[in-house]
Each structure stands twice: as structure tokens, then as C-alpha cells.
Amino acid sequence: MSACPTCNNEMQYVEEYSQWYCHTCKKYDQAAAAQQPAVAQQPAAQQQPAQGGQPAQGGQPAAGGYDNEIVHSPSFSTLILKLQHGQSIVAEKGAMMYMHRTIEIKTHGRKGGLMKGLMTSALGGESFFVNTFTAEHGPGELALVSPLMGDIKPLNMNMGGMVLQSGAFLASDPQVNLDTKWQGLKGFLSEKDFVMLRASGNGTLWVSSFGGIIEKDLAAGEQLSVDTGHLVAFPETMQFSVRRVGGWKSTILSGEGLVSDLVGPGKILLQTRHLPGFASALIPLLPKN
């Protein structure tokens, strides 16, 4: 056992973070980190996965070096990040489920200044303020969730920029930038469903959905028509256009509205549920008063 240099009480060795922790002072002791007790190692075949679900990436760190897993996918997904000392993550306001006391939170506006942040908030469905979580006092665990029932997927931004559906952003590497992507006059028919966000930069970005996420790989020249409300993300290099699903009668009465025609190559992420449609289905069931 190791004694805490502050209160002199016994500390507990946390194998997961290779640190000694004092339950009295509620902090890790960096000076005692080298005093690692002998721990029997299990054979690889006998090691068990973490409780609560399987790692989304086979237990491997995602791009950017974050040790993470996604549990309870696809209906009630939770992103669990094991931040190393000094690592930071940016997350949508209100996304934190829990975190260790070694992690500090700072709230600030989005990158790009006041006007760009306000446009992203007003037009893109994201909050103006975001939170940056930093493991300032040693390694720790951070859990993030979306306000909707659905899935979470990581995107490697080192492979190129992405276009996101409004509200899809959950968290990212601090090096990832997010701004509103204008579509000119084509967007006025689709109300806010057609407002998309452009994500660029380096590192990992996690998107969330309403319902499960389906990935569609399009070959070069392959075309796919998608209801705009079911889009989650697609590469910014992919050609796309927006049109009515048919004539004005079909647009108004079919319940389909507008569709996006996307042209490969590239991978499209689709969500299996549409929030406005779900809300419309609930309205007749609500109390009249």
C-alpha cells in the first residue's frame, strides 16, 4: 500500500489508469504513479470486455488517439471516453452523463467568433455554447449521451471534411471545426430540415442519430435518393442536389417532402427514424387541454 502525502491515509491503486487514488483527498497522486504493485495478468483469451456493452471499434482507440467505446448501441448509445492526463474533448452542451473528478469542464462559444457561432446555433440546430472537458488532474473517464434515443458513430476527420445533419454533432477532437453550410435558394422549401453543417479539421468527430445508423457505400457514379430528414452525414466531396419527391401534390400529400440525390463514391450515414415525423405521430395522442 501507498500512503497519501497530503493526509497520510492509505491510497488505492487503480489498475485501469495505473495511478494511486486517495479517497479522502479525492485525487490521484502523480508522485506515487511509479509504485505499481504486482498484478497478475490474465491470458488474452480470458480477458473480459468492459461491463455495459462491447467496444464499438473492437476495443481499439479511434483516430486521434482517444481510448473509447460505445455501449448500448443502437437504441440508447453512450460514448465512454478514457481520457489520458492532458487530453481534451469538445462536446455539445448538456451531453455529459458522468465524469471523474480528475476532469475539468470549461464552457465557451464555438470556434470562429461570435457571428459564426450564432449562425451555427440558429441555423444548424446546435447550441451556441459548447463544453471542453480536459483531464487536468490525471486520467479519467467521461461519458457522453445524445438527448435523443439513437446511435453514436465516430468519423475520422483526417480522411476529409463531412457534411452533417443539423443536431448530429455530439463531440469531437478540439481540432475539428464546425460551421453552417449554406445551400442557396434550394433550402427555403425544406424548412430547417435541409440546414446542414460542415465539419473539417483533424481528429475524430462523433455523430448521434435518432434511431439506428445505417451506412451506405456508394460506388463511383452510383446515385441514391434520400429523405433529407434521414441524412446524418456524408463526405463534402460527394455531389448532391435537393428536389421535391414528385409534383406539388406528391410533395404536400405524400408525407415525403424533399429528397437529396447523392452521387458516389462515398459513404452515407442514415438514421432509421425522423424526429419531426415521430413528433407528428405523437400529437394526436396528446391531451387536448
Tell me the pLDDT tens digit for each residue of 214-247: 999 999 999 999 988 899 999 999 998 888 776 5
Whether 165 is covered by a domain: the verdict is: yes
**Does residue 1 lie within any of the structural domains?**
no
User: HSE (CB half, 13 Å, CA atoms) of 80?
Assistant: 20
- In sequence order, the 6+-apart residues with CB closer than 8 A to the CB of 20 are 2, 11, 12, 13, 14, 28, 29, 32, 33, 35
**Residue 57 falls inside a structural domain:** yes
Which residues contact residue 281 at a Cβ distance below 8 angstroms, ignoring those fewer than 6 apart? none
Provide the pLDDT for residue 60.
41
CATH code for the domain of 89: 3.60.160.10
Specify if 146 maps to a domain.
Answer: yes
How do beta strands 67-71 and 204-208 pair? Answer: unpaired
Q: Alpha-carbon distance 67 to 112, whole Å?
A: 28
Query: Is 2 contained in some domain?
Result: no
pLDDT at position 128: 60
Report the C-alpha gap between 172 and 228 in whole angstroms: 24
Give the total number of structural domains in the chain.
1
Q: Which grid cell is 21?
A: 487514488
In degrees, rounded to 5, the angle at the alpha carbon of residue 182 between the alpha carbons of residues 225 and 204 is: 80
CB atoms within 10 A of CB 58: 7
Residue from 119, 124, 102, 111 nearest 14 by CA = 102
Residue 138 CA to residue 35 CA, distance in Å, equals 16
Asked whether the CA dihedral 248, 253, 258, 259 is positive or negative, the reply is negative
pLDDT lower than 70: segments of the chain = 1, 15-17, 26, 30-64, 110-128, 180-195, 246-257
- pTM of this structure: 0.70
**Residue 152, pLDDT score:** 97
Residue 40, in any domain of the structure: no
172: containing domain:
7-33+53-275
Q: Is position 106 within any domain?
A: yes
- For residue 45, give the C-alpha cell: 483469451
pLDDT tens, residue by residue, 143-188:
999 999 999 999 999 888 999 988 899 999 999 998 765 443 344 3
Asked whether residue 206 is domain-assigned, the answer is yes
CA angle 27, 92, 142 (to 5 degrees): 25
